[in-house]
Amino acid sequence: MHVFVVLAVFIAASVEFVEAFTIVLAAASVRGWRPAIYGTLAALVALVALVAAFGYAILALFPLGAFRALVGIILLLFGLKWMRKAILRATGRKALHDEAAIYEREVQTLRSGGENAEALSFATAFNGVLLEGIEVIFIVLTLGGNAGMLDSAILGAALAFVVVLAAGLLLRAPLSRVPENTLKWIVGVMLTAFGTFWAGEGIGIHWWQQDVSIIVLIALYALLGYSLQRWLQPQAPQGAL
Amino acid sequence: MRKVWDVIVDLIYEDPWQFFGPLVAVAVLYFLAQSVTAAWLGIVLFALVGLSLLLSLRRER
């Protein structure tokens, strides 16, 4: 057991797990836990299958850049859609809670046998966990493999997973008290920021201070969203209850 | 596959800028990133995505 390898992997993997957990939490807060958990589980199964099938060869075979770009673009599109809707709701241009529309939508859902929002939530959680999971696998295999201490690297990643999961579960209760549209506004900002970062990374942009740029992007998108909200000016709410 | 298509149609129907804006932004930055490695490219990507959001909200004003 090598303490420095455990620590190095713990820190690096924690960053990736925090990012993955943020995405899952965002997906769950919009459409409930079920599709988000299904998306997470499906991604975990895919990760286990990838490692079982390729082992170390995954480092050479997997086109991480292209995958980052694809996931980034998907999150960017979802995030922008949520941000736009939340801004329209906050300024009264879209109903905050329209029971008739909700009823109609549920009826349509039953007729069509599916719900786009659930598919969106599933896909968001799946993509986020798959991308971050692959990055953790790369960290474990490169740091642990190069040092000849794979067991230490796996321990570091496992500890990071447990710590981030525990911290995330503690955050659930306070998050549930945030008003629905505010939560969706925040989710939109977060997904757009993550999407911008990953899409940029995937196409070869060298971000300032790497993952720290995500925090800067979140701040910039929050500022942009707030400014656009002010620019639109509030209207009387449409059918809000 | 039908659900993915429905989501794309939803996005375009709500406002084309919110779908095509980010795609064009990423495509432009992809070609720029082949010859420039500066960190300001990230700011350009943010600005183009932000512009897409602004244009998609413009008609609501």
- Are the C-beta atoms of residues A153 and A144 closer than 8 Å to each other? yes
pLDDT at A236 > cutoff 80: no
Interface test with A, best of B46, B52, B54, B61 (most A CBs within 10 A): B46
Comparing B11 with A194, the larger pLDDT belongs to: A194
CA gap A226, B7 in Å, rounded: 26
pLDDT of residue A96: 65
Mean pLDDT, range A5-20, rounded to an integer: 86
pLDDT at A240: 42
- Contact present, A217 and A193 (Cβ < 8 Å): yes
DSSP string, B14-59: H-HHHHHHHHHHHHHHHHHHTT---THHHHHHHHHHHHHHHHHHHT
**Chain B residue with Cα closest to A199:** B26
* pLDDT at residue number A55: 78
CA–CA distances in Å: residue B24 to residues A65, A81, A83, B20, B45: 18, 16, 19, 6, 10
| A228·B46 Cβ contact <8 A | no
CB B10 within 8 A of CB B44: no
Task: Decide if A208 and B61 are in contact by the 8 Å CB cutoff.
Answer: no
> Given this model, what pLDDT does residue A122 score?
87
Q: Report the distance separating Cα A73 and Cα A69, nearest Å.
A: 6
In the structure, what pLDDT confidence band is assigned to residue A40 with cuts at 50, 70 and 90?
very high
Give me the pLDDT at residue B27, please. Answer: 93
Nearest CA in chain B to A217: B46
- Report CB contact under 8 Å: B53, A84: yes
Most B-contacting residue of A196, A220, A223 (CB-CB within 10 A), to test interface: A196
Instruction: Please give the helix or strand (H or E) that residue A91 lies within, else none.
Output: none
- Give the count of alpha carbons within 13 A of A119, CB side only: 14
Interchain pair B60, A205: CB under 8 A: no
What residues of B are in contact with residue A114 (Cβ under 8 Å)?
A: 3
Would you list the DSSP string of A48-72? HHHHHHHGGGHHHH--HHHHHHHHH
Taking CB atoms and an 8 Å limit, are A224 and B53 in contact across chains? yes
ipTM of this complex prediction, to 2 decimal places: 0.89
Percent of chain A with pLDDT over 90: 21
Q: Which residues of A touch B38 (CB under 8 A)?
A: 206
